[in-house]
Structure 1
Amino acid sequence: MTSFSSLDGRPLALALVSEHASPLATLGGVDAGGQNVHVAQLAGALADRGHRVTVYTRRDDPDLPDRTPLRPGVEVHHVPAGPPERISKDELLPYMREFGRYLAGQWRARAPDAVHSHFWMSGLAALWATRETPIPLLHTYHALGTVKRRNQGRADTSPPARVACETDVGTGCDRVIATCRDEVDELAAMGVPRGKVDIVPCGVDPEVFRPDGPVAPRGAHPHRLLQLGRLVPRKGAAVSIAALARLRTAELLVVGGPPPDRLDGDPEVRRLRALAARAGVADRVRFLGGVPTADVPALMRSADVVLCPADYEPFGIVPLEAMACGRPVVASAVGGQLDTVADGVNGLLVPPKDPAALAAAVTVILADPALRTAYGKAGRRRVLERFCWPRVASATEASYRTALAARVPVAGAL
């Protein structure tokens, strides 16, 4: 009987494929956000469990080295696929065959025990690379084209083939690792059997994001609201700005987007500034642009409430970061936020695209300091119980070993 050495609990050689979201990227850009954080932190947490991790991401700069150590036990491998320059992720599909061929060549020489792809195009490349090998493939979508198309309609810039390709990845891989319950229902509607889907949430580092520590300076306004994330319309900054008109005592910090010195030229910033001016709140909205990751906890701690009003959210790491910092969250009742934010326990859930509902929820929290404290403490407890990276890595490893066990030939089989 053939067996896999990794089935007995020994460390694994793992390949994480993340074609556009490098764990080395600066966060806050259009294509740099939660997936980058997730891949970097998951790789590190798996390494802490003794595994050897290689993250494969597309080379988008000719000066990047072939391989870059991320931390002990984790190496980033820059894959030559397409021109070595920044390309929007929506334009990367033509280079995925090349990406997959490169992976296949690498893995013929030295095969990992398991491959875990992140985002649908990574899944395609990894599926092509593993089709004729015994390497199990697991996949995390991070976002689904069906959800994006339903919410964005004609504004969806994804390649037309995305949904069909996502279905191919889901039915062709060994297991899917979904990040929330809502995603399992979406996958089932696509034809991906529920029995091959494990739910493993994203995580947060509670030692980095914690209630105590430096606090960013406050302004003259009695209350501060914070919205952090990629500066794209679906994240709902326009909803927060509209809600601010009903919240007379608060200022709003919007964190994300281009570096501060390039904010004036950013179309989304210009759009949001115009909305703020029309709403009469321009003097209470501050755009900070992209900030270093190390500065985020102090900004979180300076806020009375963290807003997460996305139109849709496959998971959403920002609520976890706020909860870990002991801050109440008001979030739209969509996607993964239905799992992370316990309504009336560590924050409030509101309908998406509804400034009045967002403002009403924030008003309740701002009016009651004791409630803010209670929500903050409950959020911290929830993070420690469910969303720490060691827990996430342990559950992810369990999915890997399930996929490996299913690949073991039955005794006596040829």
Structure 2
Amino acid sequence: MTFQRQTPIALISIHGDPDIAIGQEEAGGQNVYVRQVGKALADLGWPVDMFTRRSHPDQPLIVHHSPNCRTIRLIAGPEEFVPRDQGFPYLVEFVEKFQQFQAETGIQYELIHTNYWLSGWVGLELKKRQLLRQVHTYHSLGIIKYQAVSDIPKIAQTRLNVDKLCLETAERVVATSPQEQQFLRELVSPIGKIDIIPCGTNIDQLGRISKAEAREKLGLNPQEKIVFYIGRFDPRKGIETLVRAIADSKFRHSPELKLIIGGGSRPGCSDGLERDRIEKIVYELGLNPITQFTGRILDEDLPLYYRAADVCVIPSHYEPFGLVAIESMASYTPVIAANVGGLKFTVIPEVTGLLCPPKDDLAFTEAIDRILSDPDWAKQLGEAGRKQVETQFSWQGVALKLSDLYTQLLSQPAKN
């Protein structure tokens, strides 16, 4: 055990930079997962290197998070933001730069944990070139994504092939919920080894102050009924459903109702274009007086927004897990989420929050009104959510399970 924990581990997250702020273009749960898993594994004694693609010339090539944990940015393709569906052409160069890094540093990674299909492809290619073990986490399944969109990208078939090959050939796939495991088995392949290890959250940083204190720090009215969304601006996140649900709320004309939409964007990029579209809908529905677009929320401020809210809404069309749900619950704030994917695993209906059919404006309206109408019940939901997170969803617990898995795999011969 001690010897194997001295073995360097590579977490590969090509488009999900562990060291950038959440809410920026295509930055969300995957970035948080890789960063927090890396730090927690390092606390257990593993040397952890988190590899990503450099997307701006001003970004440092190496960022040290702790003595055992660092982010390493490889130059593969242009040093600019590249949408994930356009990243495939740069993967061969990423593999070459990864191997070059190993040669220059003398580090030979015996186990890599790949995240998302782009990184999965890199892992599959590395296994052709060197002996190592691959653990893979999907974060999103292509087969589900393409069922929900009309504009299917040219790269779709490549992604579906990689998703299947990762499940069938990686030493282990980590599903973050029983629902994801079921989808993998039914929609991707009956072959392959799957472990269920959920995502986590930093329970020590969330829910530490009262709702009143959080609102005071943010300059929010203590009497307001605050509905909160945090995440990327992406049509699949269902923000339009939330906005239209608020427009039909019985509190619609109450001066106390406030909708806060958190998350950053870049002008002209897909993220920024979706924000423009949502802002236009807000204006057309006359909700602009009660709606606040915060832009990027700093890590140190996000716990304040979670705690200040009366309810956090996650209207996604699909979520493999849904980190926002457990972050909200850790903050004593009830959750209303779409009844999809891992959200069916993290949110317990009528206990920690409510689940609604995706894209169902009316169902979300009714759920929001139920919680806002009954503060005592909302408090009970919040307290139950906090308890659930404490017992099931800490990053320390996630890291311990991954550590056991890594140890098991490292005790077995590597194959390619």
TM-score for both structures, normalised by structure 1: 0.91
- Corresponding residue for residue 196 of structure 2: 199
Q: State the Cα distance separating 1:11 from its structure 2 match.
A: 3.7
Which of 136, 139, 142 is equivalent to 1:142? 139
- Cα distance per residue 1:290-319 (max 9 Å; x no partner): 121111111111110100111111211111
- The alignment partner of 1:402 has SS state of helix
Q: Number of residues paired by the alignment?
A: 402
Which residue identity does 1:392 align to in structure 2?
V
Which of 241, 251, 257 is equivalent to 2:264? 257
CA distance in 2, matches of 1:356, 1:276: 17
Q: State the Cα distance separating 1:101 from its structure 2 match.
A: 2.2
- The alignment partner of 1:365 has SS state of helix
Alpha carbons 2:330, 2:386 under 8 Å: kept = yes
Residue 328 (1) aligns with residue 334 (2):
yes
The 1:311/1:157 distance shift into structure 2, 3 A limit, reads farther
Alignment RMSD: 2.3
The 1:361/1:211 distance shift into structure 2, 3 A limit, reads farther
- Corresponding residue for residue 15 of structure 1: 10
Q: State the Cα distance separating 1:404 from its structure 2 match.
A: 2.3
Residue 32 (1) aligns with residue 32 (2):
no
Alpha carbons 1:171, 1:191 under 8 Å: kept = no
Residue 286 (1) aligns with residue 281 (2):
no
- Corresponding residue for residue 269 of structure 1: 275
Q: State the Cα distance separating 1:221 from its structure 2 match.
A: 6.4
Please, which moves more after superposition, 7-16 or 246-255? 7-16
Q: State the Cα distance separating 1:84 from its structure 2 match.
A: 1.9
Residue 81 (1) aligns with residue 51 (2):
no
The 1:130/1:106 distance shift into structure 2, 3 A limit, reads farther
Q: State the Cα distance separating 1:212 from its structure 2 match.
A: 1.6
The 1:221/1:356 distance shift into structure 2, 3 A limit, reads farther
Which residue identity does 2:176 align to in structure 1?
T
Residue 64 (1) aligns with residue 72 (2):
no
Alpha carbons 2:265, 2:275 under 8 Å: kept = no
The 1:194/1:341 distance shift into structure 2, 3 A limit, reads farther
- The alignment partner of 1:372 has SS state of helix
Pairing of 1:12-411 with structure 2 (within 5 A): 12-107=7-102, 109-154=106-151, 159-193=156-190, 196-212=193-209, 214-215=213-214, 216-219=218-221, 222-247=224-249, 248=251, 249=254, 250-258=257-265, 266-407=272-413
CA distance in 2, matches of 1:86, 1:149: 23
The 1:77/1:161 distance shift into structure 2, 3 A limit, reads same
Which residue identity does 1:39 align to in structure 2?
V
The 1:161/1:189 distance shift into structure 2, 3 A limit, reads same
Alpha carbons 1:47, 1:53 under 8 Å: kept = yes
Q: State the Cα distance separating 1:268 from its structure 2 match.
A: 2.0
The 1:157/1:287 distance shift into structure 2, 3 A limit, reads farther
Alpha carbons 1:241, 1:285 under 8 Å: kept = no
Alpha carbons 2:175, 2:181 under 8 Å: kept = yes
Which residue identity does 1:97 align to in structure 2?
V
- Cα distance per residue 1:17-65 (max 9 Å; x no partner): 1111111112212311111111110000001101100011112223434
- The alignment partner of 1:375 has SS state of helix
CA distance in 2, matches of 1:161, 1:57: 21
- Cα distance per residue 1:335-359 (max 9 Å; x no partner): 1111110111100111100111011
- How much identity, in percent, do the aligned residues show? 32
Which residue identity does 2:7 align to in structure 1?
L
TM-score for both structures, normalised by structure 2: 0.90
- The alignment partner of 2:312 has SS state of strand
Which residue identity does 1:333 align to in structure 2?
N
Q: State the Cα distance separating 1:89 from its structure 2 match.
A: 1.6
The 1:191/1:407 distance shift into structure 2, 3 A limit, reads farther
Alpha carbons 1:310, 1:352 under 8 Å: kept = yes
CA distance in 2, matches of 1:290, 1:262: 16
CA distance in 1, matches of 2:54, 2:41: 24
Alpha carbons 2:163, 2:188 under 8 Å: kept = no
Alpha carbons 1:328, 1:347 under 8 Å: kept = yes
Alpha carbons 2:306, 2:328 under 8 Å: kept = yes
- The alignment partner of 2:59 has SS state of coil
Which residue identity does 1:396 align to in structure 2?
L
Which residue identity does 1:161 align to in structure 2?
T
The 1:64/1:267 distance shift into structure 2, 3 A limit, reads closer
CA distance in 2, matches of 1:237, 1:314: 17
Which residue identity does 1:212 align to in structure 2?
I
- Cα distance per residue 1:161-201 (max 9 Å; x no partner): 21112212222211101111121122113444466001111
Alpha carbons 1:211, 1:324 under 8 Å: kept = no
The 1:267/1:10 distance shift into structure 2, 3 A limit, reads closer
Which residue identity does 1:243 align to in structure 2?
A
Q: State the Cα distance separating 1:9 from its structure 2 match.
A: 5.9
The 1:155/1:224 distance shift into structure 2, 3 A limit, reads farther
Which residue identity does 1:258 align to in structure 2?
S
- The alignment partner of 2:149 has SS state of helix
Alpha carbons 1:7, 1:405 under 8 Å: kept = no
Alpha carbons 2:233, 2:272 under 8 Å: kept = no
Alpha carbons 1:68, 1:76 under 8 Å: kept = yes
Q: State the Cα distance separating 1:158 from its structure 2 match.
A: 5.3
